[in-house]
Structure 1
């Protein structure tokens, strides 16, 4: 991202006003200040800029859904009390005014002397081009998310000059990120870069073919460029794509007009492993490198085991996830580079076991939701709207961040109102004009009628609304949402469960069950815990382990299929599936995981999709799901109370001899080691509950495991303590 410059601002002012003096004594005692804005506005603005970067063969290709914009005028205020006078610095991105205790301060003050006592400071900021934002810094008064914001203050002054004391204004806690440099406003944010060299180059008279060794992302740097003529860059995730001058997805043409040698950095970031640079007779080029662009997230999660192929799969999954973690969680780095809700929902879950980077989660959730009024499903896809609801509560469960629920809840309500208004006469969701019922990429998959999968996701979304309403103490709404969810769950089993097929059928058309059974609603019913224990076993046999049911070929839905099997204790089977599926891509030379993989395809067939020779993404976020599966279902760690105040650890080797890893939480990393004879646990969060099975009486010097019958034992894990348990694995 490149710095934007404001133009045509009133009175010739710069939109970014940096003022004030730094006092060393204040710096030592100052609290942390950060840039703040109206919640969701910066996320919407930034996502618009990012998603508008997509090109195909040099042509602009924008998203096909509604893009919202930020509010141009925002009021910020903070009520506070000072024990002693202090001076504060004021920075703003846009034109602004300042009030202290309701009295306007003349001009554009860059600093303000505030006496001791109780006060209210207010700033109004206007910025049509970028997001109105402020940065306030004093020894005690600082801008952070304790400030309140609104886009309409609904205040007025009567003929006597009195300001109204009755207002319908709705205020929200300010939005923020970790943008803490007062001299770099949010509108100037860009991801960092670092220079990297190619691993090999094949230079010919009119071309250089460059291999960077693995999938990567950034800006190509042309070194020693000289001459006058045409030059074109042809990017490829595969060698075949870079060599195909006519059919490669990404290419950049340029006119060269350089009398002397110069180094030139391409203005647009691209995904590639290979770059084929072709140029005219009168153009010369000495060398090629790149500026690798990346998100500076910290990798906290880890996983190692005795199976080196599994280790390689985890490492490649982590690299795939890192490439697709940018300003937001995106789908893939080559083609769309858009924020898709279904893709992002899986990225959030992987993130909780790899980075635990909350800001990227909340930015993405905000960007996807956009603004009211709601006029379509998120990304126009019905199921993607429902994933969005699920993501909000999942975020709360992993982080315990109630402040975000407070900000998101009104947007959840209006989004749910939109969904419920689109139900048919039977209270079910059916695709209406403008609705994309996606589910998965699968040949011949019917989207007609009332699809059971969509009802499952709506039901879970209603339950999520009930949970969030309770967090907000909105008891009437909680009752409404929970009742609607319970009623829909009854309909799902009344309308779709087929006792002869021992499964939920795929859909209803004209009020009648279809004969088709697919994996989707059945596997979700398992980890949603909608089925009885008997039904779970029936579904596992009749659907999940039944080769006659249409197989899944995308990592996207393999994620959920394998999660359902793990939830039923089938880790040994899932381990083999991971090795076959993700290991199959590695055997074909993959350095990142793909959008889709069909082991029956040959050669360049693997690169084709969407009717295009190289349409498939070979670095897709949803390909990184082993991170989540190995963390949650093998190391066995998951929160059971918001923010890991309580959590469970249920290691399952699944046929491995040993494994070890760390799981990030808000309060540190939980460390797990498990072999067939020993467990080692180190708790870093609230209170954990270790559950394991042993053939023998387990021994632990730090605490006594409690027998729960049938070979199961439990042990309470306290924060900051290490435990070693000697046992004998019972499968």
Structure 2
């Protein structure tokens, strides 16, 4: 008998799930359960000044009893090793085998193998390995076995059991089950130490994340550690956001690693008179995602911005894409949605996207919006849409589709009498952190995201072969879009107004719905130019001060061809943080603030996160709108490359795609391109007809030319930039 216990080990996920090769065994479980279980562990680690600080929304749990099912046909008998997370039984052709076998002998011919596994503290999971029979995603699983046995002992002929394909996650070692998963750690030391009267302040040189390790700790009394993303925070013992306090009683000298990871650059260590230690270091904790994308250009400040953006995203790419490493360390849907987009231009790491989407969605029944925020529910749908667009992974869409349907039914059930989304009791309408931003009535921004979510449902219904609902979702999306422009578009203001209250449109204009309407391509050319002039480049429209919405504002301007303007904005905004000494990008940046004002938020002097995932958006902007690489059909089967220098003398980089990279070099005289996938169209503007090695430039209109890019062929184009 073999029951796999919890292991105290470090397991590298190393970029996550890979396709299971033929005859390669892997741990399997019920779809989504590992992601939910892992997110519960991660999201409940947050503390605030030593107090437990869990999320405030509903947390689901994994199913605790799972039936694993496999029909097989063997040419010869086969011995199969059995590893299990939990209590279990084994049935062969509906007959229960005795005990809890660690190995079973399966007979030749066609048979059915079932295993029931019960586990509360971990996800029920199994790993079987024989010569030909192994656990993989061809197995079926259910959490509700609707079988019965009649008085004669006969198993029912009819079944209402709903079977799903099993999920796996790259756990291919029988002695390293899913519950053993840990992020990797590596030792790191402070770069500077400053002595204090009762201790010292350690400076680790830049924003970091991990476990403090105290070497040679001994004695009797208290030891206090005060963490700070800034020196001011570490010195503020009464108001720093995170701290640790230890009480020792005749403790012999030993090395001690504190149990909870923290975000910090500075740590103040204060030891009571009876306590001593040799030194303090840290174990830096990180995800092993691999950088596949890159960017370099003629502007060294932009290069520095790109590098710090990469580091910011890396720190916030953990078991999941989280918001910030100091707080909240939760899986917020709006924050994660931006991380997905940055990920597609840096890591192209599909497993972390899928884990995050599955963890956010949780289980049925739906009783609230994701994170309780209406717009965050819609970002979840949009995350599904973009995942398919970039990866072409239809199997994940099919897996998610039933939970997409139930979440959309929840949304449809909360429409008002006019068929629009309006905040009800328990709904948080977030949009952005902005003083005085009205959330009353039917906000145009929410209708815009709702429309895109319905379009996503129609796309996924087609993938799931649900033609009936595809038509329904398309009709609903068309209805919302019609109302959006009939009721919110103000011809005089050349903009979508912010809201309707009691059925009447307000005359207030904000940037949010208007900029999304541009890159959703919901506006005609005249409307786009009107929005650019009257909203995006209009200083009378309230400015955006969070990197969260600057992401979308600058994307809209890039989509309008304003790369020169956006480049300067990046230098001003993200460069402004660098000039203030930032080593990662912040949750919010207002250039008008001074000194320690930059650290305050939420009514607390150090409430702001100085390492927030949404601050890393230059990764996405530079990859999509300067290198210009964008998928046209799912998984880059077809794509476009539209390089725009935007004031740079030259730029070069790689955009990761399924199966490799698309490499782009561009100057005012030369473009070089090579792609590992699909068929692309290079679009460029030139005063003269470009000369192309390995191809031909075709005039499309005016001075725009098109070059077809084939897989694994190198192209060099000489041209004269406009």
Q: Spell out the pairing of 1:327-346 with structure 2 (5 A cutoff).
A: 327-346=319-338
Q: CA deviation at 1:118?
A: 3.1
2:407 pairs with 1:437? no
Counterpart secondary structure, 1:222 = strand
The answer to whether the Cα contact below 8 Å between 1:31 and 1:142 also exists between their aligned partners in 2 is: yes
Counterpart secondary structure, 1:276 = strand
Q: Spell out the pairing of 1:503-652 with structure 2 (5 A cutoff).
A: 503-652=495-644
Q: Which moved more, 1:473-482 or 1:689-698?
A: 689-698
Partner of 1:52: 44
2:199 pairs with 1:191? no
Partner of 1:25: none
Q: CA deviation at 1:437?
A: 0.2
Change (3 A) 1:472 1:13: closer
CA–CA separation in structure 2 for the residues paired with 1:531 and 1:709: 22
Counterpart secondary structure, 2:203 = strand
Partner of 2:203: 211
Q: CA deviation at 1:103?
A: 3.0
Structure 1: 4+ residue segments shifted above 4 A: 11-17
CA–CA separation in structure 1 for the residues paired with 2:609 and 2:681: 41
Q: CA deviation at 1:679?
A: 0.8
Q: Which moved more, 1:249-258 or 1:445-454?
A: 249-258
Q: CA deviation at 1:83?
A: 4.0
CA–CA separation in structure 2 for the residues paired with 1:171 and 1:532: 46
Within the candidate set 454, 476, 481, 1:484 is matched to 476
Counterpart secondary structure, 1:230 = strand
Instruction: Give deviations 1:564-593, integer Å, cap 9, x for gaps.
Output: 111111111111111110000000000000
The answer to whether the Cα contact below 8 Å between 1:16 and 1:91 also exists between their aligned partners in 2 is: no
The answer to whether the Cα contact below 8 Å between 1:95 and 1:125 also exists between their aligned partners in 2 is: yes
Q: Spell out the pairing of 1:183-262 with structure 2 (5 A cutoff).
A: 183-262=175-254
CA–CA separation in structure 2 for the residues paired with 1:201 and 1:214: 14
CA–CA separation in structure 2 for the residues paired with 1:32 and 1:575: 48
Instruction: Give deviations 1:611-662, integer Å, cap 9, x for gaps.
Output: 0000000000000011011111111111111111111111111111111111
CA–CA separation in structure 1 for the residues paired with 2:6 and 2:576: 52
Change (3 A) 1:392 1:30: closer
Task: Give 5+ residue unaligned stretches, structure 1.
Answer: 1-10, 18-28
2:267 pairs with 1:275? yes
Partner of 2:656: 664
Partner of 2:680: 688
CA–CA separation in structure 2 for the residues paired with 1:224 and 1:716: 65
Q: CA deviation at 1:30?
A: 7.2
CA–CA separation in structure 2 for the residues paired with 1:118 and 1:655: 68
CA–CA separation in structure 2 for the residues paired with 1:604 and 1:574: 28
Partner of 1:7: none
2:693 pairs with 1:697? no
Q: CA deviation at 1:16?
A: 6.4
The answer to whether the Cα contact below 8 Å between 2:144 and 2:161 also exists between their aligned partners in 1 is: yes
2:117 pairs with 1:88? no
Q: CA deviation at 1:468?
A: 0.4
CA–CA separation in structure 1 for the residues paired with 2:693 and 2:259: 61
2:132 pairs with 1:140? yes
Instruction: Give deviations 1:382-401, integer Å, cap 9, x for gaps.
Output: 00000001111211111111
CA–CA separation in structure 2 for the residues paired with 1:85 and 1:689: 55
CA–CA separation in structure 1 for the residues paired with 2:455 and 2:438: 27
Partner of 1:294: 286
Partner of 1:379: 371
Q: CA deviation at 1:696?
A: 1.4
Partner of 1:459: 451
The answer to whether the Cα contact below 8 Å between 2:3 and 2:85 also exists between their aligned partners in 1 is: no
Instruction: Give deviations 1:410-433, integer Å, cap 9, x for gaps.
Output: 000000000010011111111111
Within the candidate set 690, 708, 727, 2:719 is matched to 727
CA–CA separation in structure 2 for the residues paired with 1:60 and 1:575: 42
The answer to whether the Cα contact below 8 Å between 1:225 and 1:258 also exists between their aligned partners in 2 is: no
Q: CA deviation at 1:714?
A: 1.1
Q: CA deviation at 1:81?
A: 3.2
The answer to whether the Cα contact below 8 Å between 1:350 and 1:624 also exists between their aligned partners in 2 is: yes
CA–CA separation in structure 2 for the residues paired with 1:82 and 1:693: 62
Partner of 1:23: none
Counterpart secondary structure, 2:692 = coil
CA–CA separation in structure 2 for the residues paired with 1:671 and 1:713: 19
The answer to whether the Cα contact below 8 Å between 1:635 and 1:652 also exists between their aligned partners in 2 is: yes
The answer to whether the Cα contact below 8 Å between 2:66 and 2:143 also exists between their aligned partners in 1 is: yes
Partner of 1:112: 104
CA–CA separation in structure 2 for the residues paired with 1:14 and 1:34: 14
Instruction: Give deviations 1:150-192, integer Å, cap 9, x for gaps.
Output: 1012011112222112112211111221222211221121111
CA–CA separation in structure 1 for the residues paired with 2:707 and 2:76: 52
Q: CA deviation at 1:87?
A: 2.5
Partner of 1:676: 668
Partner of 1:63: 55
- TM-score under structure 2 length normalisation: 0.96
CA–CA separation in structure 1 for the residues paired with 2:6 and 2:605: 47
Q: CA deviation at 1:78?
A: 2.3
Q: Which moved more, 1:452-461 or 1:144-153?
A: 144-153
Aligned length: 709
Q: CA deviation at 1:37?
A: 0.8
Task: Give 5+ residue unaligned stretches, structure 2.
Answer: 8-20
CA–CA separation in structure 1 for the residues paired with 2:204 and 2:4: 42
Instruction: Give deviations 1:460-480, integer Å, cap 9, x for gaps.
Output: 100110010011110000010
